[in-house]
C-alpha cells in the first residue's frame, strides 16, 4: 500500500466521492481548536509578567484564532449536514420512485412529488437522530470538558432538522440576522444610553452585598458537588448559550447553503472569488479584534462594542479560513488521490470526532492527571502552552495516519454512525411495492416494458448534484 497517497473515498459505504476540501479544512481546523482550547487546561505562571514571546503569541492568537476556530467548525458542520441531507434525498427519491412504478416506467410528476416529500421526511429524521446522539456524546464529553462543542452542534441539528431538510434558506437568513442583531443592538443601546445605565448601576449599589452573598452561597453549593456534576451543569448552559446566541448558528446555516453550490467541491472554478473571500475574511476578522488589542498600548479607552465586533467579525474570519483552506485543498483529481500534507490533513478531517475527543484525553493527561500523580502543578506560559497544543494535534495526525494505513475509520465516527443507524425506528412503507402483472403481456405475446432509468426520473424533476464530502 502506498504510504503517501490516499483515495478520497468515503467510509460511509458506497456513497460516492469525498471532495478533498472539507476534509482538509477539518484537519487544519482541529489545530486551531487545540490552540484555542489549551487555555482551558493550563495554569499560567502566577506573579510573573508575560514574556515578549508570550505577548506576541497572544496578539497573533487574538487576531486569527480566538472566535475564528469555532465559526470554521460550524461552517463545516453545516456543510456536512446539508451534504448528508442531499445524499439521503437523492437515494430516497430513487427508492420511492421504484416502489411507486415497479421500476418499469418513468414516474409521473405527482409520483415524483410524493417521493420527494417522503425522502425529505426521512432526511429530517436522519438529521434529528444524528443530532440527538451528538447531544448524548456531548453530555458525556462535557463531564470532562465543559467547553466542548459536540453537544452544541447536536442541539442545532435537533432544533433545526426540518430547516436543513426542507432548505428553508429565508428562515435561516432571518435567524442569522436576529442572532447578529442580538449581539449588536445591546452594545449600541449601551453606547447611546451609557450615562443613564451607569447611574442606574450606581443606584443599585446597596443591593450588591446581597447579590454577592447569593453568589457565594451558590459557589459553596457547587463546590460541594462532585466535579463531574459541576462540569455537566456548566456544559448544559454553555451548550445552550452557544447554540443560540453566538455565531455558531449563522455559520452552520451558511455552511449548509454552501453545500448547494460548488464553491467547496470545485474550488478550481472559483479561485478569484475564494482568494478575495480568504484575504478579506481574515482581514475583517483581525480588524474586529485590533482595537481591543491596541487600546491598552495607546492608553486609550476600550469600546463597549469591542466584544460584539470580535464575535460578529469572527464569522468573517472563519469564512476566510475556509476559503484559504479550500483553495489549498483544491478540487478532485483524476485519480482521486491526495499526497503529502493534504493526505495527512484529510486523514484527520475524516476522523474529526476521534481527533477532537483525543485532544481532551491528552490535555487532561498532561495538565490534570500527570500533575496530580507527581504532586507538581504544571505552569506554562502562553507560548509554551501553544507548543503543547501543537504537539497534541501532531499526535492526532500520527494516530489518524496509522488508522488510514490500516484502512480503518475513526472509532468514534463508527460509534456515532452505528448508533444513528440502529436507532432508526421501523415504519410502515408509505408506498407499497408495485408488482407488475406479467401474465397479460405473456398471453398477448408482447414484450415486457424495459425498466425506466433513474436518470429519467431526475431529468423530469431536476435534483442538484452535491458533493459526497463531510
User: Residue 303 pLDDT > 80, yes or no?
Assistant: no
- What's the pLDDT score for residue 204? 36
Quick one: pLDDT band at residue 227, thresholds 50, 70, 90?
Answer: confident
Name the residue among 117, 97, 93 with its Cα closest to residue 105: 97
| Under 8 Å between Cβ of 101 and 436 | no
Rounded to the nearest 5 percent, the helix, strand and coil shares of the chain are 70, 0, 25
Residue 360 pairs in a beta bridge with none
User: Using CA atoms in the order 105, 111, 114, 118, what is the torsion angle rounded to 10 degrees?
Assistant: 0
Among 17-21, 27-31, 227-231, 298-302, whose mean pLDDT is lowest? 298-302
Q: From its phi and psi, is residue 337 left (phi > 0), alpha (psi between -120 and 50) or beta?
A: beta
User: Residue 21 pLDDT > 70, yes or no?
Assistant: yes
- What's the pLDDT score for residue 393? 98
Q: Which helix (H) or strand (E) holds 339?
A: strand 337-339
Give CA separation, 21 vs 84, 90, 240, 323, in Å.
16, 22, 30, 10
- What's the pLDDT score for residue 214? 39
Say whether pTM exceeds 0.85: no
- Find the mean pLDDT for residues 211-233: 62
Which is more confident, 430 or 170?
Answer: 170
Helices (H), 102-207: 109-142, 150-159, 161-166, 169-192, 194-203
Convert the pLDDT of each residue in 25-74 to its tens digit: 999 999 999 999 999 998 766 667 788 999 999 999 999 999 889 999 99
User: Residue 195 pLDDT > 60, yes or no?
Assistant: no
Convert the pLDDT of each residue in 353-379 to its tens digit: 999 999 999 999 999 999 999 988 888
| Under 8 Å between Cβ of 54 and 383 | yes
b/e 380-410 (16+ beta carbons within 10 angstroms → b) = bbbbbbbebbeebbeebbebbbebbeeeebb
Give CA separation, 134 vs 127, 128, 251, 417, in Å.
10, 10, 18, 11
- Find the mean pLDDT for residues 445-451: 42
Q: Give me the residue label for grid cell 420511492.
A: 96
Convert the pLDDT of each residue in 94-133 to its tens digit: 888 888 787 777 878 888 888 889 899 999 999 999 999 9
Convert the pLDDT of each residue in 124-166 to its tens digit: 999 999 999 999 999 999 999 999 999 999 999 999 999 999 9
Cα-to-chain-centroid distance, residue 23:
12
- What's the pLDDT score for residue 8? 40
Convert the pLDDT of each residue in 376-401 to its tens digit: 888 889 999 999 999 999 999 999 99
Q: What's 146's DSSP letter?
A: T
Pairing of β 337-339 and β 5-7? antiparallel
Q: What percent of the chain has pLDDT over 90?
A: 56
- What's the pLDDT score for residue 383? 94
- Find the mean pLDDT for residues 277-289: 94
User: Residue 468 pLDDT > 60, yes or no?
Assistant: no
Which is more confident, 197 or 183?
Answer: 183
Convert the pLDDT of each residue in 401-438 to its tens digit: 999 999 999 999 999 999 999 998 877 666 665 544 44
| Under 8 Å between Cβ of 108 and 456 | no
The mean pLDDT of the chain is 82
Which is more confident, 94 or 346?
Answer: 346
User: Residue 10 pLDDT > 50, yes or no?
Assistant: no
- What's the pLDDT score for residue 208? 38
- What's the pLDDT score for residue 146? 94
Amino acid at each position: 500500500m502506498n504510504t503517501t497517497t490516499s483515495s478520497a473515498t468515503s467510509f460511509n459505504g458506497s456513497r460516492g466521492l469525498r471532495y478533498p476540501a472539507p476534509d482538509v479544512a477539518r484537519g487544519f481546523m482541529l489545530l486551531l481548536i487545540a490552540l484555542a482550547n489549551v487555555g482551558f487546561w493550563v495554569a499560567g505562571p502566577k506573579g510573573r509578567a508575560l514574556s515578549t514571546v508570550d505577548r506576541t503569541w497572544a496578539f497573533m492568537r487574538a487576531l486569527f484564532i480566538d472566535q475564528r476556530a469555532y465559526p470554521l467548525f460550524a461552517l463545516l458542520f453545516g456543510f456536512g449536514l446539508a451534504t448528508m441531507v442531499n445524499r439521503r434525498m437523492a437515494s430516497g427519491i430513487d427508492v420511492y420512485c421504484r416502489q411507486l412504478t415497479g421500476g418499469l416506467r418513468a414516474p409521473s410528476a405527482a409520483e415524483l412529488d410524493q417521493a420527494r416529500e417522503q425522502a425529505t421526511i426521512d432526511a429530517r429524521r436522519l438529521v434529528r437522530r444524528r443530532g440527538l446522539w451528538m447531544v448524548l456524546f456531548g453530555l458525556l464529553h462535557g463531564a470532562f470538558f465543559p467547553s466542548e462543542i459536540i453537544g452544541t452542534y447536536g442541539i442545532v441539528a435537533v432544533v433545526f432538522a426540518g430547516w436543513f431538510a426542507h432548505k428553508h434558506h429565508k428562515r435561516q437568513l432571518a435567524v442569522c440576522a436576529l442572532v447578529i442583531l442580538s449581539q449588536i443592538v445591546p452594545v449600541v443601546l449601551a453606547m447611546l444610553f451609557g450615562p443613564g445605565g451607569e447611574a442606574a448601576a450606581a443606584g443599585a449599589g446597596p443591593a450588591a452585598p446581597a447579590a454577592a452573598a447569593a453568589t457565594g452561597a451558590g459557589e459553596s453549593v457547587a463546590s460541594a458537588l462532585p466535579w463531574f456534576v459541576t462540569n455537566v451543569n456548566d456544559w448544559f448552559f454553555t451548550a445552550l448559550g452557544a447554540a443560540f446566541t453566538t455565531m455558531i448558528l449563522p455559520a452552520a446555516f451558511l455552511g449548509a447553503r454552501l453545500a448547494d453550490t460548488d464553491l467547496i467541491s470545485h474550488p478550481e472554478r472559483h479561485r478569484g472569488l475564494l482568494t478575495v473571500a480568504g484575504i478579506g475574511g481574515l482581514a475583517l476578522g483581525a480588524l474586529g479584534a485590533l482595537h481591543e488589542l491596541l487600546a491598552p498600548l495607546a492608553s486609550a479607552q476600550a469600546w463597549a462594542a469591542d466584544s460584539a465586533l470580535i464575535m460578529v467579525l469572527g464569522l468573517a474570519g472563519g469564512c476566510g479560513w475556509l476559503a484559504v483552506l479550500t483553495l489549498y485543498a483544491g478540487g478532485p483529481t483524476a485519480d482521486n488521490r491526495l499526497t503529502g500534507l493534504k493526505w495527512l490533513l484529510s486523514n484527520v478531517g475524516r476522523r474529526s470526532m476521534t481527533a477532537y475527543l483525543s485532544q481532551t484525553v491528552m490535555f487532561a493527561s498532561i495538565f490534570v492527571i500527570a500533575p496530580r500523580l507527581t504532586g507538581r502543578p504544571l505552569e506554562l506560559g502562553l507560548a509554551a502552552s501553544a507548543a503543547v497544543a501543537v504537539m497534541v494535534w501532531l499526535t492526532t495526525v500520527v494516530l489518524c495516519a496509522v488508522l488510514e494505513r490500516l484502512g480503518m475509520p475513526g472509532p468514534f465516527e463508527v460509534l456515532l454512525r452505528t448508533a444513528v443507524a440502529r436507532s432508526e425506528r421501523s415504519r410502515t412503507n408509505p408506498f407499497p411495492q408495485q408488482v407488475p402483472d406479467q401474465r397479460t403481456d405473456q398471453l398477448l405475446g408482447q414484450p415486457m416494458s424495459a425498466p425506466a432509468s433513474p436518470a429519467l426520473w431526475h431529468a423530469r424533476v431536476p435534483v442538484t448534484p452535491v458533493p459526497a464530502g463531510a
